[in-house]
Structure 1
Amino acid sequence: MNQIYRKRPFWSLAGPLLGYLVIRGAIQFVIQLGIEIPYVMQIYSDMVNGVIEPTMEAVTEAYINVLGPAFESLVRYQVEIASAASLGTLALTGVLFSGDRKLEKKYGIPPAVKAPASKYWTILVFGAVGSIAATCLMAMAQMAFYDIRYEQAAESMYAASLPVQIIGLGIIIPLAEEMMFRGIMYKRYRERQGFWYSAIWSSVFFSMMHTSMTQVIYTFCLGLMLSYLYEKFGTIKAPVLLHAVMNICSLVFTELGVFAWLGSDAFRLGVAAIAGAFVCSAVFVVIQRIPGQEKENPPEEKNSTLDMFR
């Protein structure tokens, strides 16, 4: 705990999250509007020139026919749109993150103990192997419990070219999400609560940003690990690196056909998931032994309730 008590603890957490969602939604809306306006103007022009009869049925049919390509463009460029929206949130989270570090100095809170750079290999290995294990586990879950939303999300994600996927899904979006959910939310929870309380609630909100149940479960577990890395390494660079490595490796392995090869045989898929989980467990043990922040068990936390904005 950092022992920083804000006057309005609710808004210190809810405010940044609402701002993050509003910025993302506004950028996505503007881009969507920019794509749809030319098609809408075409319908209006056809109505003025008498090409379309001014009846409700004719106008509705025209909208359906003309806006079809617009909807296809929205799906085709979903990665680019999501990346632009995430990029727009960095101004907000960057200012808040910098302000929080200044506030810590004001309260005389010593800077976090940072893990040596020589230990970052653990994050690289965990991310690369973890991307294989996680993808295999999600593929197995998809076989057992088919999730149409997960299927649709995967299709739209891989619609973009690999360089665009790496820049957007592998760099911009992980950076934006980590700045919000670890850099702001987790750290602000940590001002008043212990590790598990802070990690759980920041991971809950992180997982709620995803639509399918498969992704929700996966991102919640990933959020706990990202919070632990932030705590252990003492810098936002650690969770950003893991998030980026997992996303990039998943994209590259998919492009190389690794997951298609593993998924062609159920036994092979299961072995890859188990082996990957074993390697990640071994690396996690190494991470645990890295000298980091001292564990804290504040007395007031023992009787605290799971109030998400406490």
Structure 2
Amino acid sequence: MSIITAPFGADAAALLMGEGELTFLGAAVLLVATQIALLLVSWLFVFRPGALAALPSLPGRDPGGAIRAGLGWGILAWIGATAASAGVVWVLESLGIAAEPQAAERAIQILDPWLVILAVVILAPIAEEVFFRGVVFNAWLREGGRRWAFIGSSALFALIHASIVALVPIFLLGLALAWIYQRTGNLLAPIAMHAMVNGVSVALALLVRFDVVRLPV
């Protein structure tokens, strides 16, 4: 992919980022490109050739129970991730390091709210859980055991978000997602948990964006 896109790198960067700022097109691409890529990789190299034949399929057993468990635990996961994020920001600011917002956070401030909901609350949980829990977790579980499945899938999940501020909170969220996946044996559970976490975050961000809620300065 890098070979294909390399000749157009400078033009693409200018188009997506403008004069150092995230453009509307850049924000839209940012929110959907990674998720689409994860689904394509999962389909082409794992599900289609049957590399993980024993992978629990959707909807799995007791889909309603899995979704309810994911949504319920998702509220607690959001509280924990938010607390961890606040702790990281406090540490960074204590060290004199500015905590820059993620590109996705900036994208939420300029895109149509319905596109944000579609990309962040629906597409991202499905794509990322299919890949990180459905593929990566199961592959590590088979090759390295339960401990490495938890650590490895959560670490990759955190790294792909490419944010120093979010690294620890997302790693911890990854552990929670892996836990509920193994507990239920159903990918619908981590998808629902992930959707709840993202949904609450997006709802609050949009409320602030449209001045429904004002944060203290």
Instruction: Report the TM-score, using the length of structure 2 for normalisation.
Output: 0.74
Superposition pairs of residues 263-278 of structure 1, within 5 angstroms: 264=216
Is 1:131 aligned with 2:78?
yes
Kindly report the root-mean-square deviation, in angstroms, between the aligned alpha carbons of the 2 structures: 3.9
SS at the partner of 1:235?
coil
Report the Cα offset of residue 71 of structure 1. 4.7
Which runs of 5 or more structure 2 residues have no equivalent in the other structure? none
Map of 2:39 onto structure 1: 90
Superposition pairs of residues 86-235 of structure 1, within 5 angstroms: 86=34, 87-99=36-48, 104=53, 114-115=61-62, 117-146=64-93, 148=98, 150-151=100-101, 153=103, 154-235=105-186
Structure 1 248/32 Cα, relative in aligned 2: closer, same or farther at 3 Å?
A: farther
SS at the partner of 2:111?
coil
Identity of aligned residues (%): 22
Do the aligned residues in 1 keep the contact of 2:67 with 2:188 (CA within 8 Å)?
no
Do the aligned residues in 2 keep the contact of 1:149 with 1:211 (CA within 8 Å)?
no
Report the Cα offset of residue 100 of structure 1. 6.8
Q: Which has the higher contact order (CA 8 A, sep 6+)?
A: 2
Q: What CA deviation, in whole Å up to 9, does each residue of 1:189-214 have, x standing for no partner?
A: 11123222211011112211123322
| Larger CA Rg, structure 1 vs 2 | 1
Could you tell me which amino acid in structure 2 is paired with residue 130 of structure 1?
A
**Candidates 180, 202, 205, aligned match of 1:254:** 205
Residues matched between the structures, number: 209
Structure 1 226/103 Cα, relative in aligned 2: closer, same or farther at 3 Å?
A: closer
Which runs of 5 or more structure 1 residues have no equivalent in the other structure? 1-21, 38-66, 266-310
C-alpha distance in structure 1 between counterparts of 2:166 and 2:17, whole Å: 28
C-alpha distance in structure 2 between counterparts of 1:91 and 1:212, whole Å: 24
Superposition pairs of residues 39-54 of structure 1, within 5 angstroms: none
Structure 1 182/110 Cα, relative in aligned 2: closer, same or farther at 3 Å?
A: closer
Do the aligned residues in 1 keep the contact of 2:42 with 2:130 (CA within 8 Å)?
yes
Greater than 6 Å deviation, 4+ residue runs: 25-32, 109-113
Report the Cα offset of residue 148 of structure 1. 3.6
